[in-house]
Copies of this chain bind each other. A is one copy, B any other.
């Protein structure tokens, strides 16, 4: 007899974990919808032609591929086999599992362009799959939770993303965090000022590591990546930059004065800040982080990242603006801005800070228990009334010792037990016991419903 197991890097979610995850998803969904975002879903499988080449060479390696159905070898020859996995692949697999939600969204926009109303605000909460080496906190199947608005360049979208993040965090009870804001064009401008025009890509990769490896190692890496010493020295004041937002803007206006694109980025950043002010928001939680780079290369405007303070977990949300979501599928460039929440990380943060509210996780409210067939039948006659009044109720289904029934309630964290004994049958009541306080009252059905509502 086989002993079953889970594929590496995958997880089951128990009822308690699901209740907690649903709580997080609920707050996020409600917030997205408050801001006018609409949900879509795309299939788990996409054609490999849709996925391949969109995530770099490493990404292509990490795609899960689905074997063609039926005789999957029928298009292959012994020569293909001899040529190895790469030659075989395209002949035995045409589909792969979704690697992120962005590429499927781009495909969706292109395929539905005539039916969509632009600006199109969509959110999407679905699992993605990556054949990564599993390790603590990194899974091969995990949910992504994305919101994007496409078809507009309005900076109000950036401002609203910041407001959505704030609302989600407030609802989750997360009060100590910072939203780091930057703009890719500023980084492009900095590269220009360094005399390394067009090298913002490697610049971003290197300074993205500042937190992890420190400034002197970043300098080494910049040298290796082809920056010259003079350029790197020009970066020094950027690395040292301190002050509030207006002070940093002031400094960069001077620093970037020779770079048109740099000044444009700075202007966009000011526009986001101004919009937030016009919306009546205080800016204490926003940090202008000139060295925030974010890895993804398709960002072209604002970029942001959120970190909860005083926890061991990295960024829990981030995103940015892009010029060209759909170009790869042959549709005229559509600009947009998007962000996502890392739900697994938010879960860990809430757990670490003990912020999951008990009420949100409550399941069954009352368990009807009984000593004998008469009590059981009495309970059967009552339970529908509880449910009709919206009270989540169960009756213990078997005739077992009362202690076992109480144990069931305790282990399932059911807060109340309704005892259906002989006295209760005679007096047409139930004995309602609060398992937390131990308090027990003899109540009519109507009273019990009142108490539990």
Residues of chain A having any CB pair with chain B under 8 Å = 1-7, 10-15, 18-19, 22, 33-36, 38-47, 49-50, 61-62, 64-67, 69-74, 76, 78, 81-82, 84-85, 88-89, 92-95, 97, 107-108, 110-112, 115, 117, 119, 121-122, 127, 129, 131, 140-141, 149, 152-154, 156-157, 163, 167, 275, 278-281, 328-330, 363-364, 377, 380-381, 383-384, 387, 390-395, 397-398, 408, 411-412
Contact = CB atoms under 8 A, between A and B. Distances in A.
A4 B110 contact: yes
Given A92-B67, A111-B4, A384 B36 contact: no
B10 A43 contact: yes
B381 A278 contact: yes
Given A66-B67, A66-B97, A78-B81, 5 more contacts: A6-B43, A61-B69, A73-B84, A119-B398, A280-B381
Nearest to A74: B85
A35 B367 CA distance: 10
Task: List the 3 shortest-distance A-B pairs measured between CB atoms, nearest first.
Answer: A1-B330, A154-B397, A15-B38
B10 A380 contact: no
A117 B411 contact: yes
Contacts of A278: 377, 380-381
B47 A14 contact: no
Interface SS of A by simple majority: mixed
Given A71-B84, A392-B34, A44 B44 contact: yes
A141 B43 contact: yes
Contacts of A67: 64-67, 89, 92-93
A133 to B, nearest CB: 10
A18 B38 contact: yes
How many monomers of this protein are in the complex? 2
16 contacts: A7-B95, A14-B40, A15-B39, A36-B363, A36-B412, A38-B363, A45-B129, A67-B67, A67-B89, A69-B131, A70-B85, A73-B88, A81-B81, A153-B398, A279-B381, A279-B383
A380 B81 contact: no
Given A39-B19, A47-B5, A397 B163 contact: no
B390 A34 contact: yes
A50 B7 CA distance: 10
Nearest to A377: B278
A405 B348 CA distance: 42
A117 B15 CA distance: 11
B4 A384 contact: no
Contacts of A13: 40-42
